[in-house]
Structure 1
Amino acid sequence: MSRLLRFIGHRLYTTWATFWFVMPFVLTYPLQWALSRRPQWHRYLHTLNRYWSKLFIRMWGMPVEVVRKHPLPAGQPCVYVANHSSYIDIPLLFKTIPGWLNIMGKSSLAKVPIWGPIFGRAYITVDRDSAISRGRAMVQARRTLEAGRSVVIFPEGAISKTPGQQLEPFKDGAFQLAIAAGVPVVPITMPLNHRFMPDVDGLRVRYSPLAIILHEPIPTTNLTAADALALKQQVYTTIASALRPEAGGIPEPSTWRGPGPQLASPAAPSPQQPELLANRH
């Protein structure tokens, strides 16, 4: 009975969360589409997206812990560098970071029906497997910073395979960009997003507290391209320091059925098997 009640609870909460994500978008879609058509209106589109994010995160009902280790640089654009662990990373960033942001997302986001073209026109999209696309995205990001608009980049390039436990290796672009533009880097850790909506097949939503930590900005004044590697390592260490390994892993799928038959664990290889194992791999 407890398994059935938990299953029903998960389904009801998933329906509630989906409703409050979709309903405001549907109601504001004509306005979002119109604002996305002209670059000079993108500032207002971002403001609308920020209020949309604030609304549905509030309606989801879970507590959100926001930690600001240091005031953000006033009147200066920054490169915000965040770990990537969930589909809700972007809304939480929009909710938390003030000002008119540009964000670099994977090119597949622009292909999502209805919402994708709006995102593709208003923000930066990049195909990580294309050197031309990566170069074009960095040019767009540099122009964004020169116009006084901050940029958000996920340096892992994709959602982590071990969210909450370990970061994927960082790519160099965000740090080369910050140094070239002479703007601060602000590391951001989101240690719990994967507990709410993990990167899995299908839709899996679980009521779970969220947290976002904005670390102290790291200035890039007087740094050169040769310092990009050290800057990358400093940011990696900073973001990783605020992960919460005890909250690592993703929530299991819910089911109303009882546990199925246990599969036998594979036998440990014997000392006589190394050649066979090598051939299998």
Structure 2
Amino acid sequence: MIRATLLYLFTGLFILVLAPPAIAWSLVTRSDSLLYSLARACIRTGGWICGIRVRVTGRENIPSARTCVFLSNHQGNIDGPVLLHALPLNWAALIKREMMRLPVLSLVLERAGFVPIERRNPKQAHAGIDEGVRRLAAGKPFLAFPEGTRSRDGRLGPFKKGVFVMAIKAGAPIVPVTILGSSSILPPGRYGVRPGEVRVVIHDPIETAHLGLEDRDALIAETRRAIASALPADG
């Protein structure tokens, strides 16, 4: 409980004190690099406070000359920060629209190119996917959790189709990612943070440039197999 309290206090102060000047800097320079540098510094310090270690394998599988879509399983509340630390690219993400109601943080997400999605409104969800396609075409990497929500038992849930449509339309390769161990550190519905190790496995990219929307289901199945290949046999 003490670790969690220190983490939340540190993160809150970090956002309130450093985020506003970083947002202003991004407006002046039209660059989001400082936002990402500060976010990664916050994550590293938060991980040190909580005794969280991140072990990454497969960074060499990230395309070096092309933008891509990272698709990961979703085990716990720290998955997003863990992947920002583990993946060297300044990716944006498809996020729940409710996150844009958070003061200060919503401005950070907006300046970093994150795209809010209203999942219960198909028209707005399609508009969010189209915006993601435009940003991918402009060179912005993306991250998404195709399950759409955190797994309660570590097993892969059904995959949503929208992000695969986005990758196909943009012709961007999908890089499957597997997270292991995050559910035991900060499980869904829990406040306390436990020390431990999170493993991140980055798999070979899956090309989409030759695919059409009729290939969507096969692409989903291939991505699912890649992510599942690093999970325990019963996960």
Normalised to the residue count of structure 1, the TM-score between the two structures is 0.75
Q: Deviations over 1:133-172 (max 9, x none)?
A: 211211111111111111111111112232x2x1110011
User: Kindly, what percent of the aligned residue pairs are identical?
Assistant: 28
Q: Which structure is higher in RCO with an 8 Å CA cutoff and minimum separation 6?
A: 2
Deviations 1:206-264 (A, max 9, x none): 12211111111111232221111011011112112222478x7xxxxxxxxxxxxxxxx
Q: CA RMSD in A?
A: 2.3
Aligned length: 234
The aligned residue for residue 58 of structure 2 is 68
Identify the residue that residue 4 of structure 2 maps to in structure 1.
Answer: 14
Runs of 5+ unmatched residues, structure 2: none
Distance in 2 separating the partners of 1:136 and 1:49? 28
Amino acid at match of 2:46: F
User: Aligned AA for 2:147?
Assistant: E
Greater Rg, structure 1 or structure 2? 1
Show the counterpart of 2:164: 175
1:136 aligns with 2:127: yes
Q: How far does residue 99 in structure 1 lie from its aligned partner after superposition? A: 2.3
Q: Is the 8 A contact 2:20 2:104 kept in 1?
A: no
- Specify the alignment match of 1:102 in structure 2: 92
- Distance in 1 between residues matched to 2:170 and 2:119, nearest whole Å: 22
Query: Structure 1, unaligned stretches of length 5 or more?
Result: 1-10, 249-281
Length-normalised TM-score, structure 2: 0.88
Alpha-carbon separation, structure 2, partners of 1:32 and 1:156: 32
Amino acid at match of 1:228: R
Post-superposition shift, 1:121? 4.9
- 5 Å-filtered alignment, 1:210-229, equals 210-229=198-217
Question: Paired residue for 2:191?
Answer: 203
Q: Check conservation: 2:3, 2:49, Cα contact below 8 A.
A: no
Write the distance in 1 (CA, Å) between the matches of 2:12 and 2:61. 34
1:144-183 matches, cutoff 5 A = 144-162=135-153, 164=154, 166-183=155-172
Q: Name whichever of 20-29 and 218-227 sits farther off.
A: 20-29
Task: Give the one of 193, 213, 216 matched to 2:182.
Answer: 193
CA contact (8 A) 1:128 1:157 kept: no
Q: 1:47 aligns with which of 37, 57, 63?
A: 37
Task: Find the residue that maps to 2:61 and give its secondary structure.
Answer: coil
Question: Do 1:81 and 1:152's aligned partners in 2 also have CA atoms closer than 8 Å?
Answer: yes
> In 1, distance between residues paired with 2:50 and 2:193?
10
Residues 175-226 of structure 1 show CA distances to partners (whole Å, capped at 9, x for unaligned) of: 22212211210001112111111110x5232122111111111112322211
Distance 2:18 2:34 in 1: 13
CA contact (8 A) 2:54 2:197 kept: yes
